[in-house]
Amino acid sequence: MFPRLDLGHGVGLRSRHYGEFLESQPKVDWLEAISENFMGTGGRPLAVLDKVRVDRPVVLHGVSLGIGSVDPLDEQYLKEWKQLIDRIEPAMVSDHLCWGRYQGRYSHDLLPMPFTEEAIGHVVSRVQAVQDRLKRQLVLENVSSYLTYPASTMSEAEFTAEVARRADCGLLVDINNIYVSAKNHGFDPKAYIDAMPLEHVAQFHLAGHFNRGDLIIDTHEGHIIDEVWQLYAYAVERLGRVPTLIEWDTGVPDLETLLAEAEKARVLEYETFERANAEAEKVMLG
Ligand SMILES: [Fe+2]
């Protein structure tokens, strides 16, 4: 299991807002920092991270671990990552359930896994190696995808849940990614959420995307659309209060707009619980 933290609703720490975080105390429950932007470096970014860490929890989120790749784990990466973790003491450390490197060549995409028993065994052994190295649990995020493999023998949700159970790691359930992949591949996004193992769910992500018509692309740009908000409410209903992050990485808006999106998530979570409580009361009163 992964202990459920009560962090609230956070936003990403992005360079556009460094000045505001250095000069004032913007009100936000927690911040997510992209690990690689702060690894093996010093200067202003690290000074900002050191400062914001004092006032609120920080979560480190990586994009290039490549937990599903078959290349050996990158020792230099692990070393610099561990140094950053020891310095920042993040509330959570996450990366993606994907692969992105083959024979030393990096893809700039987070590529989906084949959903097979063999791939589960491979990923689980690598998660365990990373967790031993970091001396803490890793949190893995479901990616959005545009392709599937004929070799897959199970659904993505089954695969993801089984990795979490066997590796005993946390799951970062990206609601927008579920929506994007569900539309692209034609599966039921609610059934995906239903399949998530409650005791491993560590965090939710919410983001905007680009709908091309024939394909939905996960751009992390713009406001979250209504259907994704509805899916978030469903996830809250099914999985409970989970630390939630607003991801907005392309065309990053002013901080006020970003924080308003986090506030919207907070209100929706509250209303979802209120509604669920009122319904439960109605049932109890007969
Ligand atoms: Fe995400």
CATH classification at residue 124: 3.20.20.150
* 2 in a structural domain: no
Range of the domain at 211: 9-284
Between the CA of 178 and the centroid of ligand 1 the distance, in Å, is: 10
- pLDDT number for residue 40: 83
* 206 in a structural domain: yes
Average pLDDT value for the chain: 94
Between the CA of 243 and the centroid of ligand 1 the distance, in Å, is: 13
Between the CA of 260 and the centroid of ligand 1 the distance, in Å, is: 18
Three-state SS for 256?
helix
Asked if 193 contacts 182 with a C-beta cutoff of 8 angstroms, the reply is: no
- pLDDT number for residue 83: 96
Read off the amino acid at residue 123: V
Between the CA of 174 and the centroid of ligand 1 the distance, in Å, is: 5
Between the CA of 227 and the centroid of ligand 1 the distance, in Å, is: 17
- pLDDT number for residue 17: 96
Between the CA of 138 and the centroid of ligand 1 the distance, in Å, is: 15
* 4 in a structural domain: no
- pLDDT number for residue 39: 94
Between the CA of 204 and the centroid of ligand 1 the distance, in Å, is: 8
Per-residue burial over 93-112, b = 16 or more CB atoms within 10 Å of its CB, e = otherwise: bbbbbbbbbeeeeeeeebbb
- pLDDT number for residue 286: 75
Between the CA of 95 and the centroid of ligand 1 the distance, in Å, is: 9
- pLDDT number for residue 284: 83
Between the CA of 286 and the centroid of ligand 1 the distance, in Å, is: 41
* 3 in a structural domain: no
Between the CA of 222 and the centroid of ligand 1 the distance, in Å, is: 14
Give phi and psi for 226, each to the nearest 5.
-55, -40
- pTM of the prediction? 0.95
* Distance between CA atoms of residues 94 and 62, nearest Å: 6
Between the CA of 64 and the centroid of ligand 1 the distance, in Å, is: 14
How many structural domains are present in the chain? Answer: 1
* 191 in a structural domain: yes
* Weakly modelled stretches of the chain, pLDDT under 70: none
The candidate with the shortest Cα–Cα distance to 32, out of 64, 5, 7, is 7
Between the CA of 271 and the centroid of ligand 1 the distance, in Å, is: 23
Between the CA of 284 and the centroid of ligand 1 the distance, in Å, is: 38
Between the CA of 177 and the centroid of ligand 1 the distance, in Å, is: 7
pLDDT tens-place string over residues 47-60: 999 999 999 999 99
- Number of alpha carbons in the 13 Å side-chain half-sphere of residue 154: 17
* 168 in a structural domain: yes
* 24 in a structural domain: yes
* 182 in a structural domain: yes
- pLDDT number for residue 244: 98
